[in-house]
């Protein structure tokens, strides 16, 4: 089965893991620190904080910014649930914002504007599919409204522009992302004081970590804030250091594959739309397409599956999930709902070759053709 996303891990990662085991130091040691610095420099940042997930990264950012009960946070609904959950973790209220259009499925600035209230304190942008949001426009909006800008950059590691939008950015190294540590995440924040607060909150709010105390004369420590255990371990950091060395090249391969997808889809199934018609900076994390109205998505999914091709949906809207719908059944995001109802995500990862893209598009073209003709007969 050709999967939508596949991690690339091999001998280099195995060797790196063995080194950690032989070293006898398993968590929050020199490798985590080296990974933080390497990840930061990849994004031309001074420093970063490694954590055990992007979800933890988002939580720490909102926590360190002091967001809490009574505050509203603008979030997309066309995202993974963690984006919205992070607001609830700190007691704030996520306010869902519609996408701009089917062609630009990023948060709509005009809808964000319309959903602002005197309680709105922050906005979390998500670089959907790896396509970057419009930085200047969002910075101007945040400044005008006095809001904190946060990036959910789970889809967009490896571009120096990412992590420069506002206060902080959260990254994911889950198994299906552009680089992986199996589970893992990181925070980039340009303000050293904010990053320091995030670093401390990651480890129970303690004033020093186990590794620092080894080098220090004073084995004691203080706890000066409410913290969490969101630490990364040495095994994951060792994998991350290997992955990071390949990230730029992998993202380049992804770009080539997406360009090929675009050409072939335009050629062989022009009724299928590919979002982001205008070129944009992108890490090409996902390959989303929009099926034409009359096509039954499930038939297309089944057809591709029979050809050994997995597809997925990005995303079932968060505001329609039972948990969120029960909280507020009145949320209405027509463009998000239309997009999510027609979206299909095709396989995209650097282990694929050009011939694999051909095979996927051929299968898609046949699937759309047969689903459309069934519809026409009916
Ligand atoms: C994967 C993902 C997350 C969550 O990442 P974890 O590392 O699994 O916590 C958050 N937001 C988006 C947009 C994601 O794709």
- DSSP letter string over 41-105? HHTT-S--EEES-HHHHHHHHHHHTT--TT-EEEEESSS-THHHHHHHHTT-EEEEE-BS-SSS-
Last residue of a domain, one of 242, 257, 290: 242
- Ligand 1: which atom is nearest the Cα of residue 53? 7
For 2, 79, 126, 180, the CA distances from 6, given in Å and listed in that order, are 9, 20, 22, 10
Distance 200 CA to ligand 1 centre (A): 22
Considering the domain architecture, whether residues 333 and 185 belong to the same structural domain is answered as: no
Give the whole-angstrom CA distance, residue 301 versus residue 367: 8
Q: Is the CB of 230 under 6 A from ligand 1?
A: no
Residues in the chain: 378
Task: Tell me whether residue 160 is one of the annotated catalytic residues.
Answer: no
The H-assigned helical ranges of 181-296 are 192-202, 210-215, 234-268
For ligand 1, the distance from its centroid to the CA atom of residue 80, given in whole angstroms, is: 6
Mean pLDDT in residue range 3-32: 96
Residue 319 DSSP symbol: G
- What would the pLDDT profile of 78-116 be if each residue is shown by its tens digit? 999 999 999 999 999 999 999 999 999 999 999 999 999
Distance CA 285, CA 254 (A): 8
Q: How many of the other CB atoms lie within 10 Å of CB of 176?
A: 15
Q: pLDDT tens-digit profile of 128-180?
A: 999 999 999 999 999 999 999 999 999 999 999 999 999 999 999 999 999 99
Q: Contact, 340 vs 100, CB < 8 A?
A: no
Q: Tell me the β-bridge partners of 73.
A: 94, 122
Shared domain check, 222 and 116: yes
The predicted pLDDT at position 376 comes to: 56
Domain boundary among 242, 265, 284: 242
For the chain, report the end-to-end CA distance as a whole number of angstroms.
Answer: 32
Residue 372 has pLDDT above 80, yes or no: no
User: β-pairing, 120-126 with 93-97?
Assistant: unpaired
Place of tokens 């571009």: 159
In tens, the pLDDT along 308-331 reads 999 999 999 999 999 999 999 999
Distance CA 107, CA 75 (A): 8
Residue 263, C-beta contacts closer than 8 angstroms, at least 6 positions apart: none
With cut-offs at 50, 70 and 90, classify the pLDDT of residue 210: confident
The CATH number of the domain holding residue 328 is 3.90.1150.10
In three-state secondary structure terms, 208 is coil
Extract the tokens encoding 184.
């893992």
Residue 128 Cβ inside 6 Å of ligand 1? The answer reads: no
Question: Last residue of a domain, which of 193, 210, 242?
Answer: 242
226/290 same-domain check: no
Residue to mutate (ligand 1; options 75, 80, 348; most atoms within 8 A of CB): 80
Taking residues 72-76, report their average pLDDT.
98
In which domain, by residue range, is 205 found? 11-99+106-242
Task: Report whether residue 363 contacts ligand 1, using a CB cutoff of 6 Å.
Answer: no
Q: Report whether pLDDT(378) > 70.
A: no
Q: What is the residue with the minimal CA distance to atom 5 of ligand 1?
A: 54
User: Which pLDDT does position 377 carry in this prediction?
Assistant: 55
The number of folded domains in the chain is: 2
C-alpha distance from residue 135 to each of 147, 186, 190, 192 (Å): 14, 21, 16, 21
Strand bridging mode 168-172 / 185-189: antiparallel
The reply to whether ligand 1 has any atom less than 6 angstroms from the CB of 172 is yes
Q: Answer yes or no: do 281 and 175 share one domain.
A: no
Percent of the chain beyond pLDDT 70? 98
Is the pLDDT at 375 greater than 60? The verdict is: no
Is the confidence at residue 203, as pLDDT, over 90?
A: yes
pLDDT value for 374: 63
Whether residues 251 and 237 share a domain: the answer is no
Q: What is the pLDDT of residues 211-253, one digit of tens each?
A: 777 888 778 899 999 999 999 999 999 999 999 999 999 999 9
> Ligand 1 pocket, 126 CB below 6 A?
yes
Same domain for 315 and 196? no
User: Does 206 share its domain with 95?
Assistant: yes
Query: Dihedral through CA 197, CA 202, CA 207, CA 212, nearest 10?
Result: -120
Is the same domain home to 200 and 339?
Answer: no
Q: Which of 251, 68, 40 is nearest to 155 (CA)?
A: 251
* Average pLDDT rounded to a whole number, residues 352-377: 88
Average pLDDT, the chain: 96
């Amino acid at each position: 089965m050709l999967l939508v996303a596949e991690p690339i891990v091999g001998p280099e990662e195995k060797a790196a893991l063995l080194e950690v085991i032989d070293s006898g130091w398993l968590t929050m040691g020199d490798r985590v620190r080296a990974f933080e610095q390497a990840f930061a420099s990849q994004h031309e940042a001074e420093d970063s904080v490694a954590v055990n997930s992007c979800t933890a990264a988002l939580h720490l950012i909102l926590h360190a910014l002091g967001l809490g009960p009574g505050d509203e946070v603008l979030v997309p609904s066309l995202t993974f649930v963690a984006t919205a959950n992070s607001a609830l973790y700190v007691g704030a209220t996520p306010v869902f914002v519609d996408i701009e259009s089917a062609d630009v499925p990023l948060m709509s600035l005009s809808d964000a504007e319309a959903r602002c209230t005197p309680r709105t304190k922050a906005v979390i942008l998500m670089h959907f599919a790896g396509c970057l949001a419009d930085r200047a426009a969002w910075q101007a909006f945040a400044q005008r409204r006095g809001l904190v800008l946060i990036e959910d950059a789970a889809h967009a590691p490896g571009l120096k522009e990412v992590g420069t939008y506002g206060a902080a950015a959260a990254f994911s190294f889950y198994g299906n992302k552009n680089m992986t540590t199996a589970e893992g995440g990181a925070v980039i924040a340009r303000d050293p004081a904010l990053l320091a607060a995030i670093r401390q909150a990651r480890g129970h709010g303690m004033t020093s970590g186990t590794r620092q105390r080894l080098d220090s004369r004073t084995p004691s420590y203080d706890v000066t804030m409410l913290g969490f255990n969101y630490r990364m371990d040495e095994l994951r950091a060792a994998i991350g250091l290997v992955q990071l060395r390949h990230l730029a090249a992998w993202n380049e391969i992804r770009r080539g594959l997406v360009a090929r997808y675009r050409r072939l889809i335009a050629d062989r199934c022009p009724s299928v739309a590919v979002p982001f018609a205008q070129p944009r900076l992108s890490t090409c994390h996902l390959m989303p397409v929009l099926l034409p109205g009359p096509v039954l998505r499930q038939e297309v999914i089944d057809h591709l599956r029979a050809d050994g091709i997995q597809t997925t949906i990005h995303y079932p809207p968060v505001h329609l999930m039972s948990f969120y719908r029960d909280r507020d059944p009145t949320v209405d995001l027509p463009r998000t709902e239309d997009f999510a109802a027609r979206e299909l995500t095709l396989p995209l990862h650097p282990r694929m070759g050009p011939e694999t893209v051909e095979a996927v598009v051929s299968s898609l073209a046949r699937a759309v053709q047969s689903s459309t003709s069934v519809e026409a007969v009916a």
